[in-house]
């Protein structure tokens, strides 16, 4: 647990969250060592043991998802693996879970501390509105929503093509400020954290914390851009029993 990241944000006391790192598991290279993804060609037995260790530390039941870079948000259910990129719960002891390795994990809660949610946002899901859909699942006014942005690819590493910039700017012209020209002609460096904040602010959600990480340059985390054959870490949020 000491190797894991605990979000620093003003969530209610009963709202708990954590982000795993690469440390503390049994997977062998290149998935070393706490890989939680069961779709990356790692040993199924190793993934199962890594997930067991996670639940043992926090005594929660993670609700794993089959993430598809979409906008579907479901009620978190540890008994089934739904095809979705966001989940919510109001049941203590069930952890909404987002698995990433460069994409943006976002954790949500209401100020009353009665409902939490988690989202997985690659650029496609972010542009399609997965953060907005996840916020809606809280059934709260925008001013009553808190968001924490977890480790993702940083603006110095996230080079994209013009089609990515256009996907955001067409919807919200102000997001143009999140893109700067790359040294490679025709390309842009994108700030996924700024994009998330701008899109949430457009919905009136301004209590947004976290950000400032870069999975590509921080060896604590798995990064698909750094090494395409790699594992996945998890960001979890739950209500204390």
Whether 97 is covered by a domain: the verdict is yes
Average pLDDT, stretch 212-239? 98
Identify whether the C-beta of residue 73 lies closer than 8 Å to the C-beta of residue 116. Answer: no
Whether 2 is covered by a domain: the verdict is no
Helix (H) or strand (E) holding 16: strand 15-19
DSSP 8-state code for residue 27:
P
pLDDT digits (tens, 9 = 90+) for 93-121: 999 999 999 999 999 999 999 999 999 99
Q: Is the pLDDT at 153 greater than 80, yes or no? A: yes
Whether 4 is covered by a domain: the verdict is no
Instruction: State the pLDDT at residue 3.
Output: 85
The pair phi, psi for residue 106, each rounded to 5°, is -125, 130
Domain that holds residue 168: 15-239
Q: Is the pLDDT at 1 greater than 70, yes or no? A: no
Whether 211 is covered by a domain: the verdict is yes
Domain count, the chain: 1
Instruction: State the pLDDT at residue 2.
Output: 58
Average pLDDT, stretch 25-49? 98
Mean pLDDT, the chain, as a whole number? 97
Whether 3 is covered by a domain: the verdict is no
pTM, to two decimals: 0.98
For residue 57, what pLDDT band results from cuts at 50, 70 and 90? very high
Whether 227 is covered by a domain: the verdict is yes
Whether 6 is covered by a domain: the verdict is no
Nearest 10 degrees: Cα torsion 232, 238, 240, 241:
-100
Give the position of tokens 């530390």.
57
Whether 78 is covered by a domain: the verdict is yes
Instruction: State the pLDDT at residue 27.
Output: 98
| CATH number of 102's domain | 3.60.140.10
């Amino acid at each position: 647990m000491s190797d894991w990241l605990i979000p620093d944000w003003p969530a209610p006391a009963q709202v708990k969250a954590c982000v795993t790192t690469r440390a503390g598991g049994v997977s062998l290279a290149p998935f070393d060592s706490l890989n939680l993804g069961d779709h990356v060609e790692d040993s199924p037995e190793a993934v199962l043991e890594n997930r067991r260790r996670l639940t043992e530390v926090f005594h929660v039941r993670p609700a794993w998802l089959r993430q598809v870079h979409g906008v579907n948000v479901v009620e978190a259910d540890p008994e089934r693996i739904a095809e979705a990129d966001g989940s919510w719960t109001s049941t203590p002891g069930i952890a909404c879970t987002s698995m990433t390795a460069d994409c943006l994990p976002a954790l949500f809660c209401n100020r009353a501390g009665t409902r939490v949610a988690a989202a997985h946002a690659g650029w496609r899901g972010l542009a399609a509105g997965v953060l907005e859909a996840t916020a809606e699942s809280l059934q709260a006014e925008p001013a009553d929503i808190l968001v924490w942005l977890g480790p993702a690819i940083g603006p110095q590493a996230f080079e994209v093509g013009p089609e990515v910039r256009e996907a955001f700017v067409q919807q919200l012209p102000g997001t143009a400020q999140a893109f700067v020209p790359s040294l490679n002609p025709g390309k842009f460096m994108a700030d996924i954290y700024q994009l998330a904040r701008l899109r949430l602010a457009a919905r009136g959600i301004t209590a947004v914390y976290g950000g400032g990480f870069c999975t590509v340059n921080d060896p604590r985390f798995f990064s698909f851009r750094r090494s395409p054959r790699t594992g996945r870490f998890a960001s979890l949020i739950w209500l204390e029993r």
